[in-house]
Structure 1
Amino acid sequence: MKQLHADYGDLAAARPIDVDTPGGAEQVARHAESFGFAVARPGTAADSPEEVLGHLAEVLELGAPHMPGTAHLESNTSPYKHVINAMAPEGWHVDGLLEQLGTVRTTALYCVRPALRGGATALFNSIAAYGELRRTDPEAADTLLAPTVLTRHAMLLTGGYGEGITGPAFAVADDGTVSTRYSDNHTCTWDRSVGTDGSLDRALEFLRKAAHESRYRVDVRLDAGEVLLLRNDRLAHDRMPFEEDPAAPRQLVRALYTRPPQARRN
């Protein structure tokens, strides 16, 4: 897995890729595979965010958008979610809170209109950090594979928390492929009964520190018309603070997919 060895500090910037130019789709797919994300800029005109995301899904073979398990809690009947303009960071998380690890493989975030200032999406290459933890402290890393280690609870519109789902924070396939649902925010409860004494605390301390290191973290701010495609099964993300223009508020539209970006075969 190339992403396990990626160094975000080597990225001068998350430059947008013109996905509709010759070779553009292939470049987006390669970047997403190597770094866990890519910024795409569709070249075709569209009347709505839904059409933009639908076109991108066709070009990159993402399939139909996925309705997350939390949709019924939000009274949301569309797979295209207009992101709430909450100013404060949400904390590190993956989308698809009530889905099993690896179900939602791609998040697409389309910027209709950026914030006046700020509003980047922070990306944490959590599988690369986990790979380093396995090398330096395998006992701590193993606690994050435990089937009861992480429970996430959905937040209710009426306040408080509702149903939750329990599972591992990371998974390692036989071929060495790593996937994750690592999150570290208000939705999370960690099971400290797993592993040996202190092993989970060591693991969390390592990851929390790594999330601030340039090797593992990059902040991506979208301009109007750009789409952030992130491998939701391979990294965590967070919303950075921003300043709003009351006359032209920030507008972002999100869709989730169960497939990774791929170049469309002709």
Structure 2
Amino acid sequence: MSDGTMIATEKTANFKWLNVDSADGYDAWRAARLQAAENSLTLPPVEVKNLENPTRTEREELLRRCEDTNFAHYHWQDSGSDPDEIRGKLRSFASAFGLRIAERHRSAGEAGIVALQPSQEPGKRGYIPYSTRAMNWHTDGYYNAPDHLISAFVLHCVRQAGSGGTNQILDPEIAYIRLRDADPAYLKALMHPEAMTIPENRENDGSIRPASVGPVFYPDAETGRLQMRYTARTRSIHWRDDPATLEAAEFLRDLLEKGDPLAHEVRLSAGQGILNNNVLHNRTAFGPEDGERSNRLIFRVRFLNRIGRKPQ
């Protein structure tokens, strides 16, 4: 077992959802999660008047949606156009939800925020987030080290693509339910501490990102809520070599590819964003308008803690 392996602690054993063999409280939890997901399909974005300082009512609604479905779609009424000004406002917005532990990312600019846009910079060239290509289903930071797991992030649109650039979003708790309904053995396999390995990677600057070994589903260390670490990619990934794990990975990949009726489809426009507890998501390819170069710009900031109330 490598140094990068995630090891379950005694604390995690106390969370009832981890016991796939027990129905204690599960049916009620399942029904509530499915109903909340269905109800959310018709909800409009939460209108936010001041991104830097959302009102109590706005915060409560965003928190409620993140509690119910692990994400919330918002719309900043005064969308702004100055990227530098938006960066500062976005960090203030995130801090209103207790998000203060930002990850260290090689492409992060001012305020620790990554600009997702087509780029030919040496550190970004060849990486899909910095291209116009489609991105497959994943959770953010699935390649991160066990002590640096991503629990939440914010996507904020500064400029919309001329066409395309649509995100599909699925609550990881719904994916968990689909797997458990199909075969509880799938979940046992995907909760194994060596279920999924992302091999080490040599960055363009010569540095090496160590291999990341761990489960697909695991409990958040602070809250016990279900978290997910996943990618649908088929290259540069190793699944634990046992039948249940391989079958579970195939089932999940097929489920996402076919589409789930409780998945959301969001094409962010300027001023809109997604506040979330690291949900499953993808992105369609996008292009420019009238043959010009694409001007799409999305800001992303990722955190090691889940969305919650701002400490008093």
Taking structure 2 as the reference length, the TM-score comes to: 0.70
2:270 alignment partner, SS class: coil
Count of matched residue pairs: 255
2:93 corresponds to = 56
Q: Are positions 1:66 and 2:103 aligned together?
A: yes
* 1:42-70 deviation digits (Å, cap 9, x = unpaired): 457865231221221232221253224xx
Structure 1 residues 10, 241: CA separation in 2 closer, same or farther (over 3 Å shift)?
A: farther
Q: Are positions 1:84 and 2:121 aligned together?
A: no
Percent identical among aligned pairs is 22
Matches of 1:173 and 1:24 in 2, distance apart? Answer: 25
Structure 1 residues 203, 7: CA separation in 2 closer, same or farther (over 3 Å shift)?
A: farther
Matches of 1:66 and 1:264 in 2, distance apart? Answer: 18
The structure with the largest helix share of the pair is 2
* Residues 194, 214 of structure 2: 8 Å contact kept: yes
Q: Return the match for 1:115 from 157, 161, 168.
A: 161
* Residues 155, 187 of structure 1: 8 Å contact kept: no
2:134 alignment partner, SS class: coil
Q: Return the match for 1:130 from 157, 176, 182.
A: 176
Matches of 2:78 and 2:98 in 1, distance apart? Answer: 17
* Residues 140, 202 of structure 1: 8 Å contact kept: yes
1:167 corresponds to = 214
* 1:151-175 deviation digits (Å, cap 9, x = unpaired): 124573489x953211111125799
Which amino acid is 1:262 matched to?
Answer: G
2:246 corresponds to = 201
Matches of 2:308 and 2:225 in 1, distance apart? Answer: 18
Matches of 2:250 and 2:67 in 1, distance apart? Answer: 27
Q: CA RMSD in A?
A: 3.2
* Residues 116, 242 of structure 1: 8 Å contact kept: yes
Q: Return the match for 1:223 from 269, 276, 283.
A: 269
* 1:213-247 deviation digits (Å, cap 9, x = unpaired): 33342221111011211211xx3211211222336
Structure 1 residues 145, 214: CA separation in 2 closer, same or farther (over 3 Å shift)?
A: closer
Matches of 2:148 and 2:45 in 1, distance apart? Answer: 26
- Structure 2, unpaired ranges of 5+: 1-28, 49-53, 119-130
Q: Are positions 1:244 and 2:288 aligned together?
A: yes
Shift of 1:209: 2.8
The structure with the largest strand share of the pair is 1
Taking structure 1 as the reference length, the TM-score comes to: 0.80
Which structure exhibits the higher relative contact order, with contacts defined as CA atoms closer than 8 Å and separated by 6 or more residues?
1
1:150 corresponds to = 196
Q: Return the match for 2:60 from 26, 36, 42.
A: 26
- Structure 1, unpaired ranges of 5+: none
- After superposing the two structures, state which structure 1 stretch, 139-148 or 171-180, moved more: 171-180
* Residues 17, 39 of structure 1: 8 Å contact kept: yes
1:184 corresponds to = 232
* Residues 37, 68 of structure 2: 8 Å contact kept: no
Structure 1 residues 117, 129: CA separation in 2 closer, same or farther (over 3 Å shift)?
A: same
Structure 1 residues 25, 92: CA separation in 2 closer, same or farther (over 3 Å shift)?
A: same
